[in-house]
Each structure stands twice: as C-alpha cells, then as structure tokens.
A = this chain, B = another copy of it.
C-alpha cells in the first residue's frame, strides 16, 4: 500500500476527515496516512493550493488526496493526475495545479468517471467520502490510473493562480503580495531575498499606506523588540515578522495584502 497524504478544508470538528479515513482503512488496510492539514479556510482553493505546494517535496512518494471543493456535485471534474512520484486526487479547480507543476507537470490525467470505484450515497455533497477517498485507496493498493475513468489531456486542466511579484523598470522597488499568514502570524511574501539584495541593507516595507524600515534576517530571534523583520523563511521566501508576536495582527497584513519593498531613503 502506498502512503496517502491528505489535505482538506473539512475542519476537525465534524467527522468528515474521520469518515474519509475509515473508508481509506477499509479499502487500503495498512496504507500510511499523512495528514497535511484539514484547516484550510472553507472553500479557499488558493490557500489550499499554496499549502500543498509548500508541502509536496516533503511528502512520501505515493498518493496525495486533496479536497477544497466548493463546486462539489456540480459539473466541475473530479480528477487524478500523475506527476513526479505522486498521483494527485481531487477536484479540477486549480487546487492541485501548483504542486503538479512543481513536480514537473502532469504526465497523465483521468476524470474519475468510472463509478464502479465510488460509494453509493443518498446525496452528492460529500465527494471526499464517496469518490475521492475510495479512488485514493484503490490507487494506493495498485489499481492503474487508467481504470478510474476517461483520460483527459493535462493541458485542459484548470490552472492554479500563484501571484508573481513585479520589479519596477528602474529597479527602484519591487511590488508583491502576502501569500500566507502562518499560525504564529508570520506573513509570507511572494518575494525572495535575492530579489531585494541589490537594494542595500536597510529597506522600506510599504503596505496599506504605512511604511516601516526593515532588514533581511535569518532567524526570528534576531528581530529586536519593536522591530519589523523580513526573515528568510523555511521556503526561501521573505516573511514579515515581529518579535514573538503576530505580525499579521500587529501590522494589519493578511493573505492577499499588497506590499512594496524598496531601498530605504
């Protein structure tokens, strides 16, 4: 049985995740299950796709079962996609795309149209239980991808949306945005340290009409009391951080906030 890594927006309060795991255990007994997270904000496909792309290189080779699926039960496709040493299972709404791209792109893909692998259900609202988990379990136990439904051309899959930063033509500033606020309130930007290395040691960070002087640092512990730091985080991106508190809350930055970094005047 191949390992199954598992990400959803199901939350942990209900039995949704547990029921999917019950199905996985029944159809793929002994398959290791690695929970990535189940607390993606409800329906937030972008946040789910970013958590997946941050995780994927650390997951064991096998199956990635990922579900953030506001269109469940509608015409959006349910898919399985082969990329690198992984087979991704989930909705075709862009959730899987950035992680698939990071692994070199899709080698093949199918729409999960063969309902002999699905569970019969009295309602169509819980595709995780009735479609995605049963398919992931069968893939874990070795059923070939082609058996799950009609092959689809990977180029027709819904693309992901990962925002790019933009440098001023005169290299006077770089414009980016906040990708993610983590549990500690650190605010990851879509800007890497190499993109600001020509700006000198003292930088200005501007967002929402406010500007602060900042430095690029390599550890949270280097931030002085009252200082705002741009810490090179574990993904090699700049994160806006403050000393042992939430930069998001203290500075009013959230996922999607626009920021500009420039040399300090």
Within 8 A of B (CB), among A97-146: 121-126, 129-130
A221: B residues at CB distance < 8 A = 70-74, 76
B18 adjacent to A37 (CB under 8 Å): yes
Q: Given B7, B25, B58, which contacts A3 in the complex, CB threshold below 8 Å?
A: B25
Cβ of A177 under 8 Å from chain B:
no
As for how many copies of this chain the complex holds, the number is: 3
A254 CB within 8 Å of chain B = no
Nearest chain B residue, comparing its CB with the CB of A133 = B58
A5 within 8 Å of B (CB atoms): yes
A53 to B12, CA, bound (A): 17
What 1/0 mask marks residues of chain A from 31 to 57 whose CB sits below 8 Å from any chain B CB? 010111111001100000001001100
Q: Does chain B have a CB within 8 A of A19? A: yes
Q: How far is the CB of A32 from chain B (nearest CB, A)?
A: 6
Task: Determine the main DSSP class of A at the interface with B.
Answer: loop
| Chain A stretch 179-200: residues in CB contact (< 8 A) with chain B | 182-184
Contact in complex: B25, A234 (CB < 8 Å): no
Is residue A219 contacting chain B, with contact meaning CB distance below 8 A? Answer: yes
Q: Is A222 an interface residue (CB 8 A)?
A: yes
Cβ–Cβ contact B19 & A58, under 8 A: yes
A229 to chain B, nearest CB (A): 11
A232 at interface (Cβ–Cβ under 8 A)? Answer: yes
- Taking a contact as CB atoms closer than 8 A, the residue among B5, B23, B121, B130 that contacts A18 in the complex is B5
Contact B34 A15 (CB under 8 A): no
Once bound together, how far apart are the Cα atoms of A125 and B71, in whole Å?
36
Asked if A13 contacts B74 (CB within 8 A), the reply is no
Contacts of A154 in B (CB 8 A): none
Whether the Cβ atoms of B3 and A73 lie closer than 8 Å is no
Which residue of the partner chain, among B18, B35, B126, contacts A234 with CB atoms under 8 Å? B126
B55 touches A15 (CB 8 A): yes
Instruction: With both chains docked as a complex, state the minimum distance between the C-beta of A97 and any C-beta of chain B, in angstroms.
Output: 17
Task: Decide yes or no: A129 and B58 within 8 Å by CB, A36-B18, A37-B12 being known contacts.
Answer: yes
A18-B35, A125-B219 given; name 18 further pairs at CB < 8 Å. Answer: A3-B25, A5-B18, A7-B18, A10-B183, A12-B12, A15-B54, A22-B60, A23-B58, A29-B32, A58-B129, A70-B244, A72-B221, A73-B222, A74-B219, A76-B221, A121-B236, A123-B236, A124-B219
